[in-house]
Amino acid sequence: MKMDIIYLENSGFVVQTTQHTLVFDYYQDTSDTIAKLLQKGTILHVFSSHSHHDHFNPIISTWQDQVAAFFLSDDIGNVGIRSEKIIWLRPSETSIHGNLKVKAYGSTDLGVSFLVEVDGWRLFHAGDLNWWHWKWDHKYNQVLAKNLFEKEMDRLEGLELDVAFFPVDSRLEEYRSIGVKEFCHRVSLEQLVVMHTRGERWSPPPGFFSKGNVVASWCPIFSGDRLQISKPQRTATAF
Ligand SMILES: [Zn+2]
């Protein structure tokens, strides 16, 4: 069983399984990946974790004739998409759409993160869920950021995932990877896909993952970068 992952920009990705093409947090796509898919007649399932401009672009409404469903965080306003195509999600809400199962988890910024089961894969897209530790910030805000993050990690604890998309934001400097590190220790994961790096390549230093836990890591930089992964079919469901 194979999955293709194509990087768009920031936290934007296309994920192709045997039966489905998913688009996460589309913002811009200088590789014209989406345009090529639409031209080929591909039907999309589109996810937007929140309304910030680097995660959501209202241009997605122009694809709607080729979109089976839009899974949108409910902080995103009406963007001219036909209502029957939209599934609004808030943290802890679940939606089953054909063979696609989606559960929204929380964020530490705005909106949601997504757990998706599709064609035997289980994947997680964090949106802006991260441990946002700004070292110049007031101590009070730093504690708040940590507490918010821990609360979400408690909810995700023990999840078994094939692929997870998670932010490693270079603006956090030496604290950029404390969030992803804790996340990788709290779940069981095969493939980490690093996002929201602001153009900087990052790779896990030795000893980053817990002992005996072999996690592959991929940090795309350029729009159109691609990764193919394969694995045996997953049978159990997390829902
Ligand atoms: Zn963001």
Separation of CA 196 and ligand 1 centre (Å): 7
Q: Are 50 and 127 in contact (CB under 8 A)?
A: yes
Separation CA 11–CA 28 (nearest Å): 10
* pLDDT for the residue 96: 95
Q: 207 in a domain, yes or no? A: yes
- Per-residue tens of pLDDT for the chain, all 239 residues: 999 999 999 999 999 999 999 999 999 999 999 999 999 999 999 999 999 999 999 999 999 999 999 999 999 987 899 999 999 999 999 999 999 999 999 999 999 999 999 999 999 999 999 999 999 999 999 999 999 999 999 999 999 999 999 999 999 999 999 999 999 999 999 999 999 999 999 999 998 998 878 899 999 999 999 999 998 777 778 88
Is 57:40 a contact under the CB 8 Å cutoff?
A: no
Tell me how far apart the alpha carbons of residues 30 and 8 are, in angstroms, rounded to a whole number: 7
Question: For residue 107, how far is its CA from the centre of ligand 1 (angstroms)?
Answer: 11
Residue 156 within a domain: yes
CA 235–ligand 1 middle distance (angstroms): 33
Q: What is the DSSP letter of 110?
A: S
Sign of torsion over alpha carbons 53, 61, 76, 186: negative
Q: How far is the CA of 184 from the centre of ligand 1 (A)?
A: 20
- 69: tokens are 């469903």
The CA–CA distances, whole Å, from 188 to 98, 183, 212, 236 equal 26, 9, 11, 14
C-alpha 118 to ligand 1 mean position (Å):
25
Looking at the 3D structure of the chain, how many domains does it have? Answer: 1
Give the distance (Å) from ligand 1 centre to CA of residue 127: 7
Q: Give the containing element (helix H, strand E) for 139.
A: helix 139-156
Alpha carbon of 32 to ligand 1 centroid (Å): 21
Size of the chain in residues: 239
Instruction: Compute the half-sphere exposure of residue 59: CA atoms within 13 Å on the CB side of its CA.
Output: 11
Q: How far is the CA of 49 from the centre of ligand 1 (A)?
A: 10
Q: Report the first-to-last Cα separation within the chain, whole angstroms.
A: 21
Q: What is the Å distance from ligand 1's center to 52 Cα?
A: 7
Q: Does the residue 235 lie in any domain?
A: no
* Cα–Cα dist 159/155, whole Å: 9
Residue 9: what pLDDT?
94
Its domain, for residue 140, covers 2-221
Measured in Å, residue 55 CA sits from the centre of ligand 1 at 6
Q: Is residue 236 part of a domain?
A: no
Secondary structure element (H or E) that encloses residue 2, with its range? strand 2-7
169 within some domain: yes
Indicate whether 226 belongs to any domain. no
Separation of CA 2 and ligand 1 centre (Å) = 29
Does 239 map to a domain? no
**CATH of residue 167:** 3.60.15.10
Kindly calculate the radius of gyration of the chain based on its CA atoms and give it in whole angstroms: 17
State the pTM of this model.
0.96
What is the token pair recorded at 81? 């998409």
CA distance 27 to 5: 16
Q: Please check whether residue 26 lies inside any domain of the structure.
A: yes
